[in-house]
Amino acid sequence: MTGIKIGKKIRLLRKKNDTTQEKLAEYLKVTPQAVSRWESEICYPDIETLPLIADFFGVGMDELLCYDSVQKEAKIKDYLERAERLEDSESFGECLELLREAYAEIPSSFEIQLELAKVLSAINVDKPKKADLAEAISLCNHVLDYCTDDELRDETKKTLCDIYSHQLRNDKAALDIAEKLHSMDYSKEIVKATVLTGEIAFKQAQTNIVEFADNIWWHIYNISCVPDIAENNYTLDQKIQVMKKGIDLFEVIFGDGLLYYNDRIANSYRQLAMLYLMQGDRVKALDCVEKMAQYAIAFDTRPDSANYTSILINKVEHVRSGDISLCSKLLRGRFSSRIWAPIKNEPRFIAAVQSMEKHI
């Protein structure tokens, strides 16, 4: 909490409210000596104690932590944008260090707490450390205990589900949390599109079509490519059919104007290439690698802003954010796996890789 004069602020608030260290200590269930050390800035209150201190004095967390709200929001946004860039480049160690710095500076930010929990659960995704997962769960529970923002609370529950299901293999705990989330029928997107009228409802309905397509794509990807979900439900032929259906869906909805969703089609062709290699079909695998490169380049070279051109979604605008190169993502260590060995030296494969390298 470097730079935050919270000890002096507690002392000022205590004097202003004409109360003693003993009374504050009794309310917080700590010793008067602890309050004295805070005010002398020898040490700082625990994060769990801060909301109680704010409640005792009847002030907001921003005032307690000496933050101007505009300055605070700008600082949080900057930290989260920097963290997103590091996550996109898979620099999880640097991202964790950055978010710990952010948490120390702005411990009241639920957004930073949640992002820190996500990175802690992802930093060693194959063999997560128990201490990291315990800290991530503690941060999520803290958000759920004190945050009143419904969207952030739902995102926190989703993160907890992921930790319990994928890292801790505790499906019961994950399901218990998932059951507490809102039903799809009562989401704000559905209500705005089906209950309201006029231009608001029209634009929301088109936006929902885009979101639904993306969600369906993720389900298609999961049931055909993710081992924990797909298991033995499909044969290789069926998995290929399922992935092709996902591509067909995007062609129906987006036409030729995919913009951001070139990402999904590029990844679809990457998965199809691997499935064909499992079948021993090098020619079709190479076809898919070339398609992957084509759509990855289209993603990286899309305009900063534009409306989708399909008649189904022509009121929906895409605004480019600070995402990193998809070509870079696909190339970064993704072709070192032995599965690519049968085609890595093929001229078509080399040409596709080189075409993506030019756009990094």
Task: Per residue of the chain (360 residues), give pLDDT as tens.
Answer: 444 578 888 998 999 888 999 999 999 999 999 999 999 988 889 888 988 998 888 887 777 877 666 788 889 999 999 999 898 888 889 999 999 999 988 888 899 999 999 999 988 766 768 899 999 999 999 999 888 888 999 999 999 999 999 889 999 999 999 998 989 898 999 999 999 999 999 999 999 999 999 999 999 999 998 887 877 889 999 999 999 999 999 999 999 999 999 999 999 999 999 999 999 999 999 999 999 999 999 999 999 999 999 999 999 999 998 777 999 989 986 788 899 999 999 999 999 999 999 988
The number of helices, as runs of H, and strands, as runs of E, in the chain is 19, 2
Contact 330, 270 (CB under 8 A): yes
What phi and psi, each to the nearest 5 degrees, are found at residue 291?
A: -65, -40
Work out the number of other CB atoms within 10 angstroms of the CB of residue 194.
Answer: 12
Residues in the chain, how many?
360
Contact 307, 316 (CB under 8 A): yes
Give the residue among 281, 272, 291 at the shortest CA–CA distance from 352. Answer: 291
Biggest distance spanned by C-alpha atoms of the chain: 81
Give the residue among 222, 228, 234, 334 at the shortest CA–CA distance from 289. Answer: 334
Contact 277, 343 (CB under 8 A): yes
Q: What is the dihedral of CA 25, 31, 37, 42, to 10 degrees?
A: -120
Q: What is the dihedral of CA 86, 89, 90, 93, to 10 degrees?
A: -40
Distances from the Cα of 33 to the Cα of 17, 29, 36, 57, 186, angstroms: 19, 12, 5, 19, 50
Element housing 85 (H / E): helix 69-88
pTM: 0.74
Element housing 19 (H / E): none
pLDDT at res. 1: 40
CA distance linking residue 286 with residue 12, whole number of Å:
70
Contact 56, 67 (CB under 8 A): no
Q: How far is CA 277 from the centre of its chain?
A: 31
Q: Where are the alpha helices (DSSP H) in 226-346?
A: 227-230, 236-254, 262-279, 282-300, 326-331
